[in-house]
Structure 1
Amino acid sequence: MEVFWFIPTNGDGRYLGSGEGARAASYAYCKQIAQAVDELGYSGVLIPTGKSCEDAWIVASTLVPVTKNIKFLVAVRPGLMSPAVAARMASTLDRFSQGRLLVNVVAGGDPVELAGEGLFLNHDERYELTDEFLNVWRKLLQEEVVTLEGEHIQIKNGTVLYPPVQNPYPPLYFGGSSPAAMKVAADHIDVYLTWGEPPVQVKEKITKVRKLAKQTGKKIKFGIRLHVIVRETEEAAWAAAEELIKHVDDKAIASAKEVFARMDSEGQKRMSQLHNGDRSKLEISPNLWAGVGLVRGGAGTALVGDPDTVAARMKEYADLGIDTFILSGYPHLEEAYRTAELLFPKLPLNKKKDPNERTYMSPFGEMSVKKQT
C-alpha cells in the first residue's frame, strides 16, 4: 500500500466555507508540507491543477530540490498544452528529480473554466483529444519520431532529444468515470484513479476498467483520492468532521451546487449525488463522510474514525484492488503529521526506516533514546 498526501496550492485552512483561519498557498507553506510529508514516509504528493491553483509544474520544480524521497504527481492538460511540449517538460523534470515524477492526465470537467483557457470541446471530444495526446506523448518519450494527422492534434516529425529516467516514461495516472474516460484508461494508463465513492461503487468501476484493459492487454493498477479525519477515538473524529463544516451554511451549499451543475464531469456528478446537498445524510457508507463535498469540487469524501477503523476501511478498498491512497486533511500540515502518526502503524506500508524513530519524550521533558537490543 502506498499513501500520498496533497499540496494545497489553492490555499488551506481549518474550516470549509469560511475565511476564518485561512492560510495562503505561499511557497514557504507548501515547502513546509512537502518536507514534512517527505520526512514522515509518504510515497508522494498530488499537486492540484486548475484556475484556482498555482501552476503545478512550477510548484513541483521548486519542491523537488528541498525534498529527497517523495514523488510528485503533476498534471498534463490535453488541449491546454501540446503533447511535444508536455513530453519535454516531463522528461526534464523526471531527469532533474532523478525519477520522482508521476504524471496525472486531466481532461477537465468545467466548461466555463476550460473556455477561459481557450478550450471549447465537449466532454467526449476532450477524451478523443486525450487519446491522441497520449498516443503522441508516449511515443515521444520512447524516443520515436512522431507524425500524426489527427482530428485534434497534428504533429510532423516530432522528437524528444533527452529521455526520462523512468522507463519507458513516468507512470501515467488518470481518473474518469464516463465510458469515454474508461476507454482512454484501458488504452494508455498505468494507474486508474477514482474519487472516494462507497466500496460497492468503486468495485463496479474497477471491474469495468479491468474488463476493458484485458481487451487491450494493458496492466492497470488502481488508486483512490480521499480526505481523512483520524483521531484517537471515534467520537473525537466525528466531532472534528462536524467542526470542519461548522461555517458551511445553506447559501454556501446552494452556491456550490450551482457550480457543480454546470460541469460535465461524470465523476463530479457522482460525487454530488452522494449527498445531494443534504447535510443530514452525510455518512454515505460506514465511516465514509460526504461533508467535504458540500462545498468542495472534486474529491468530496473523507474516511472518519479512530486509527483501527480508518485502517480497516482502507483495507476494504485494498481488497478491491486499490493500492494507492491519495489522502488530504484540513489543515494539511498538521493533518499530515496526525495521519502519519496515528494511521501509518496500522497499515501495510513499504516505509523506509527513520534513523530518529527510536527517540521519545521522557516524563521529565528531555528526549530519551531506547536501548538497542
Structure 2
Amino acid sequence: MSAPDPHEPLKFAYWVPNVSGGLVTSDIEQRTDWGYEYNRKLAVLAEDNGFEYALSQVRYTASYGAAYQHESTGFSLALLLATQRLKVIAAVHPGLWHPGVLAKFIASADVISGGRAAVNVVSGWFKDEFTKLGEPWLEHDERYRRTEEFIRVLKELWTDDHAEFGGDFYRIHDFDIKPKPESRPHPEIFQGGNSTAARKLAGRVSDWYFSNGKDFDGFTEQVEEVTGYAAENDHTVRFGLNGFVIARETESEARDVLREIVAKANVDAVEGFRSAVKQAGKSTSDTKGMWADSEFQDLVQYNDGFRTGLIGTPEQIADRAIEYKRRGANLLLLGFLHYLEDVAHFGSDVLPVIRAKERDLARGAGAPEPATGRV
C-alpha cells in the first residue's frame, strides 16, 4: 500500500444536514436545521473554515428519525450557487435515476458552478425506498453490478461525443451530452460500501472510496484491500473516512457529550435502522457488508462516525486525523452536533493543529502515534 503524499493536505468534507433529525439519532439538543437558509449559511461558513467538500444525503421517504428530507441533487445545486469554492457531492441511487438523466443534470450543475459538482453513487440499503415506489429490489451483488454499469455510463456520457454502452442494466446508443462538464476528465465519482463487491467496484471504476467510521486497523484493512484491487485494474482510487467530531477543551468534556448522546438515543429509531441495515451484511456471502459488526452505540450515528474516534481535545483529534492520513486517508467526512458553532470551532481550533502536524509529518518529524482500538 502506498502512503498518501505527506505534502498534500488532508481534505475535509461535511455531511449536509438536508435531512431532519441531525446527524445523531438522539433526543439530545442538536442546534442543526435541515432547511435551506440554515444550510446556505452553513455552506458559506464551511468553505471559509477549511472545508473543500460537502455531501448532500439521499433519503426519499420518512424513516428512522428522519421525518423530512430535501432531495439531494436539487439541494446540492442550490448550495453550489450559494458558494464560491465548495465542491458539493450529491448522493444518488442507481435504480431510481437513469444515468443519462443524471449525467445531464450534473453536467449542467458542473458548468454553472465552475467545475464544483460531484456524485456519490449509493447502491442502496433501504429496501422500502425501492419497493414502495414500485421498483425492484435487487440482490446485494446485483445492486453493485448495476452500480458499476451506472458509473461507466456516467463517464462515457461525460467524456464522449458519441457515447456507446451495452450492459445488462443500461444501453446507450450514439448519445451526445452538451455541454460537457467543466471538470476534467469528469466530475468526481464517490462510492461507499463495505462488502467485497463494493471494494472491488471501487478498485475498478470509482475515483473515491468512502469508508464508514472505522478504528485504525479497520480502516487500514479496507485501504489495503481496495488498493490491491485498484492495482490489479491499473486504476487509482482515493479514500475518504467518515467521522463524528466532538471537540472540547478537555477529553472528559467531550466524552461526557458522547455519553449523553448515547444515553438520550431514540431507541425505537435506532433499532428500526439496525433492523433495516443488518441485512446489508447478512446478504453477502462473506458477511462483510455495511454495518455488519455495528453495535447500538455505533448506530446512534448512522454511519458509524463515533468509531473513528475524533472525540477529545483539538490536539487529540489532530493526532488521530494525522494517523488516519498515514494509513491512507485523503479526506475526512465529518458530522457535528451543532453545525454552525462546531464547524466554526473546527476551523479556528482544530484545523490549525492538524495543519501544523501535517507540516511536521512532511518534514519527517511525524505526530505521536495515538493508542489503537475502538473508542
| Structures share fold, TM-score greater than 0.5 | yes
TM class by shorter-chain length?
Answer: 0.7 to 0.9
Displacement of 1:46 after TM fit?
A: 1.1
Q: 1:2: which partner in 2? A: 11
Change (3 A) 1:241 1:125: same
RMSD: 2.5
Change (3 A) 1:30 1:12: farther
* Cα separation, 1, equivalents of 2:58 and 2:288: 16
- Please give the secondary structure, in 2, of the residue aligned with 1:196: coil
Displacement of 1:104 after TM fit?
A: 1.0
Q: Does structure 1 conserve the Cα–Cα contact (< 8 Å) formed by 2:194 and 2:289?
A: no
1:318 paired to 2:325: yes
Change (3 A) 1:241 1:272: farther
1:342 paired to 2:362: no
Q: 2:92: which partner in 1? A: 76
1:39 paired to 2:42: no
Residue 271 of structure 1 aligns to which amino acid in structure 2?
A: W
> How far does the alpha carbon of each residue in 1:106-143 deviate from its partner, in whole angstroms, 9 at most, with x for none?
11112222223424211111111111112211011002
Residue 145 of structure 2 aligns to which amino acid in structure 1?
A: E
* Cα separation, 1, equivalents of 2:300 and 2:187: 33
> How far does the alpha carbon of each residue in 1:227-286 deviate from its partner, in whole angstroms, 9 at most, with x for none?
1111111111111212323322655554443233344587995536242x3xxxxxxxxx
1:1-373 matches, cutoff 5 A? 1-12=10-21, 16-18=25-27, 24-51=33-60, 52=62, 53-117=69-133, 118-248=135-265, 251=268, 253-263=270-280, 270-271=290-291, 273-275=293-295, 277=296, 291=297, 293-301=298-306, 302-348=309-355
- Please give the secondary structure, in 1, of the residue aligned with 2:330: strand
Displacement of 1:102 after TM fit?
A: 2.0
Q: 2:367: which partner in 1? A: none
Q: 1:354: which partner in 2? A: none
- Structure 1's consecutive aligned runs of 4 or more residues displaced over 4 angstroms after TM superposition are 12-15, 19-24, 249-253, 262-270
* Cα separation, 1, equivalents of 2:208 and 2:322: 18
* Cα separation, 1, equivalents of 2:273 and 2:353: 36
Identity %: 25
Change (3 A) 1:271 1:23: same
What is the TM-score of this pair, normalised by structure 2?
0.82
Displacement of 1:179 after TM fit?
A: 1.6
Q: 1:357: which partner in 2? A: none
Unaligned residue ranges in structure 1 (runs of 5+): 278-290, 352-373
Change (3 A) 1:251 1:153: closer
> How far does the alpha carbon of each residue in 1:83-123 deviate from its partner, in whole angstroms, 9 at most, with x for none?
11111111111110001112211111122222234242111
* Cα separation, 2, equivalents of 1:123 and 1:270: 11
- Between structure 1 and structure 2, the one with the greater Rg is 1
Residue 32 of structure 1 aligns to which amino acid in structure 2?
A: K
Change (3 A) 1:209 1:241: same
Unaligned residue ranges in structure 2 (runs of 5+): 1-9, 63-68, 359-375
Residue 81 of structure 2 aligns to which amino acid in structure 1?
A: P
Of 176-185 and 92-101, deviating more is 176-185
Q: Does structure 1 conserve the Cα–Cα contact (< 8 Å) formed by 2:54 and 2:87?
A: yes
Structure ranking higher in strand proportion: 1
Q: Does structure 2 conserve the Cα–Cα contact (< 8 Å) formed by 1:6 and 1:327?
A: yes
Residue 314 of structure 1 aligns to which amino acid in structure 2?
A: A
* Cα separation, 2, equivalents of 1:41 and 1:65: 19
* Cα separation, 2, equivalents of 1:343 and 1:60: 26
* Cα separation, 2, equivalents of 1:32 and 1:14: 18
Displacement of 1:205 after TM fit?
A: 0.9
What is the TM-score of this pair, normalised by structure 1?
0.83
Of 37-46 and 19-28, deviating more is 19-28
